[in-house]
Structure 1
Amino acid sequence: MSESKFNPRTAILLLIIVLISIIRVAAPFSDNFKEIANFSAVGAIALFGGAYFNNNIKAFGFPLLILLLSDVFIAKTSGYGFFYGGWYWTYIAFILMVFVGKVMLKKVNVQNFVFANVVMILIHWIVSDISAMYVPGLYEPTFAGYLTCLVAAIPYELNFVYGSLAYGVLMFGSFELLKAKYPYLSLNKTTVA
């Protein structure tokens, strides 16, 4: 009978995600929320979960659960509705963003991090903005309306770029520093994270 050793890797990864998520749920309480809308950690959380959780259930489940819980909290406290038209496109984009982290960040380094962010941001922009087509009267439900939506979304996507990079550097940098200091946090053949 083999003895299972506790590896705190999963707990530390989840703690980093939760701490960063607290910032996300606090944002709507800011006086300048409209200016910082989309300066969010959701992109960084998606990449982080995909990059560091070896187990697919944890890689997709933890970030999706955090997104869902924070969306519900934001909807309840800010008055912004949760089940808005086409909301599921945001979740589809998020799942694809986690997948980008799994595929492109098998080896975490600056080059892979930047490239994964570019791909993830394009996915967010192209997929999640489909949801705006479901809001009555916002955009014409045609390809031309979708293109108009994409152009109108550029300022929000720029905030998403800045947020993803800033939070990503914080999250990835923190965990990489912890791994350097505590090598048992690294994945090996017996580690399940």
Structure 2
Amino acid sequence: MSHLKFNPRTLILLLMILAITAFRLLVTFNSDELKFANFSSIGAVALFGGAYFKDHLKAFAFPILSLFLSDFILSITIFSKYSSGFLYEGWYWTYIAFALMVLVGRVLLKKVNVVNLLASTLVIVLIHWIVSDIGVWFKNPAYTQDLAGFWACLVKAIPFEIRFLEGTVIYGALLFGAFEILKAKYPVLKLQTQKL
């Protein structure tokens, strides 16, 4: 007979990630097609997963899975005209950026507080801006394939990155704030000595 005890922390973290990812779909489906492009919860989800899952596999897998599921739903519905059969052109650059954002959460949010959360948010916005825009710029005839062309692509992306920053701050405040409140109210959600 096993003496394993159920710890609800992992389940609560996963449910919170799925719930906040659902907001990405709700906002996108209930707005003009590109009005809220990049105003999304994915940055907050990456930081949240990196900060609270102590198991490396879960820290990366759960947030990336939530991104994939929401991307897939969007690519077969309202963004189907931007889809290239599977997801969208250059999707792998977004996923590389997303994995780096989870890593930032793991490194900069070992202690969760407002200063660390704001600093990590700024870092992931820069990562998102630079890495995901490689996918927009690379082999795109709208941009010269040199540093000047990449810079032009980055400049054009500034409004999208401002929305990404806004979304990450708002959704991050919701995610991190809610989990910290839950931890204070239910001590069983605090990190135990074993890996989760």
Contact 2:71 2:87 in 1 (8 A): no
Unaligned runs of 5+ in 2: none
Write the distance in 1 (CA, Å) between the matches of 2:111 and 2:2. Answer: 30
Aligned pair 1:116/2:97, yes or no?
no
Aligned pair 1:157/2:125, yes or no?
no
**Which residue identity does 2:132 align to in structure 1?**
S
Residue from 103, 107, 115 that aligns with 2:111? 107
Question: Which position in structure 2 is the counterpart of 1:65?
Answer: 65
Contact 1:86 1:133 in 2 (8 A): no
Write the distance in 2 (CA, Å) between the matches of 1:23 and 1:52. Answer: 20
CA drift of 1:2 comes to: 7.1
SS in 2 for 1:77: coil
CA drift of 1:135 comes to: 5.7
Question: Which position in structure 2 is the counterpart of 1:48?
Answer: 48
Unaligned runs of 5+ in 1: none
Q: What's the Cα RMSD here? A: 1.5
Contact 2:137 2:150 in 1 (8 A): yes
Aligned pair 1:178/2:177, yes or no?
no
CA drift of 1:159 comes to: 0.2
| Number of residue pairs the alignment of both structures matches | 192
TM-score by length of 2: 0.93
SS in 2 for 1:34: coil
Write the distance in 2 (CA, Å) between the matches of 1:134 and 1:75. Answer: 21
Contact 1:85 1:135 in 2 (8 A): no
Contact 1:85 1:134 in 2 (8 A): no
Identity across matched positions, percent: 54
